[in-house]
Amino acid sequence: MSQYRIRSTDLFTRIDDNLNIQPKSIIFIAVEGNETEYDYFRNVDKFRAELGIDNLIRVEVIKRANNDTKSSPESVFDLLCEMVDIHQNGLDASKLKELIPAGYDIEFIENYIICPDSLPEYEIEDFEGKMKAKGIDFAYFRFLSECNRDSDHFCIVIDKDSATHSIEQLLNVQADCSKHGYNCYITSPCFEFWLLLHLCNVNKEYADQIEELKSNKRVSGTHTYTSREVWSRAKHSKHISETAFRKYYLNSLKDAVDQAKEFETDISSLIANDELGSNLPHLFEKLLKIE
């Protein structure tokens, strides 16, 4: 990777605002979608108390730039690896080279990272302001590097999306995750199927359209079959607002976990076969303490 793709979130400020209570564990998630999946898991963290998630467990969705459209399984895995590298080893000044504002160089960044007290305060303020305008917030990066704990977990959330993702791709990414001790969560055919499990009894209401859900063909310039069904019920676009999450997903998450067990939940079968399903219940059973 020639430069950092990660952009700041407000996790560290949210933790500071929470009476400086530090989490005992953070679930770091790299997601395929820049809106739907990102919004969904951010809301899961916001509504931890209502969902019954331990207050000392946080869910942090790794944010990338809005114009970063790299969403292949390999790119999602690479984004997670980037975060883990910062988490364990701190920043690499050379990866910030292409983002450096005029008037600054690698030597300045190295000094800034290693010994910021050696630099004039006005230069630091100017540099941080210009970098923050690019989405690079060093307070966030410091937080990531300083919150390193053995209890943190790392995972990716991707679609089966057989139209664009080959079985070989998915197997390779699953193997890479296993090699590094990360979790890989896959939904077939796409994340919207996981959302649909919150919104209705899929087996009952789509008994005659199971094949349509599986094939998930594009039905308009905006929707595939499954995303259209989600839109028809929840009336939100790719963006899931806090209001929409509270109305449509908050109180039905446990039902979605239970209903998902009527479909495929084994990751090997999800990759190899064209079956509806998701192994996300394995994540939520841990978070929600479901026996």
Give the residue numbers spanning the domain of 155: 6-190+263-287
In a domain, 226, yes or no: no
In a domain, 229, yes or no: no
pLDDT of res. 128: 86
pLDDT of res. 227: 96
Amino acid at 107: E
pLDDT of res. 64: 85
pLDDT of res. 19: 44
pLDDT of res. 208: 96
In a domain, 253, yes or no: no
Cβ burial, residue 215 (10 Å; 0-12/13-18/19+): middle
In a domain, 246, yes or no: no
- Quick one: residue 39, left, alpha or beta (phi over 0 = left, psi -120 to 50 = alpha)? alpha
pLDDT of res. 291: 43
For the chain, what percentages of helix, strand and coil (3-state, to nearest 5) are there? 55, 10, 35
Rounded to the nearest angstrom, the gap between the alpha carbon of residue 21 and the centroid of all alpha carbons in its chain is 23
Q: What is the pLDDT along the chain (291 residues), one digit of tens a residue?
A: 467 788 777 655 555 455 456 788 899 999 998 899 999 999 999 999 999 999 888 899 998 877 788 889 999 999 999 999 888 888 888 888 777 888 888 888 888 888 888 889 999 899 888 888 877 888 788 778 777 677 889 999 999 998 889 999 999 999 999 999 999 999 999 999 999 999 999 999 999 999 999 999 999 989 999 999 999 999 998 999 999 999 999 999 999 999 999 999 999 999 999 899 999 999 999 898 744
Strand partners, 278: 187
pLDDT of res. 88: 86
In a domain, 213, yes or no: no
Measured CA to CA, the distance from residue 243 to residue 249 in angstroms comes to: 10
Minimal CA–CA distance to 59: which of 154, 192, 182? 154
Q: Where are the beta strands (DSSP E) in the chain?
A: 6-7, 25-31, 57-61, 63-64, 153-159, 183-188, 277-278
Helix and strand totals (H; E) in the chain = 16, 7
In a domain, 244, yes or no: no
In a domain, 267, yes or no: yes
In a domain, 171, yes or no: yes
Q: How many domains does the chain have?
A: 1
What's the pTM? 0.89
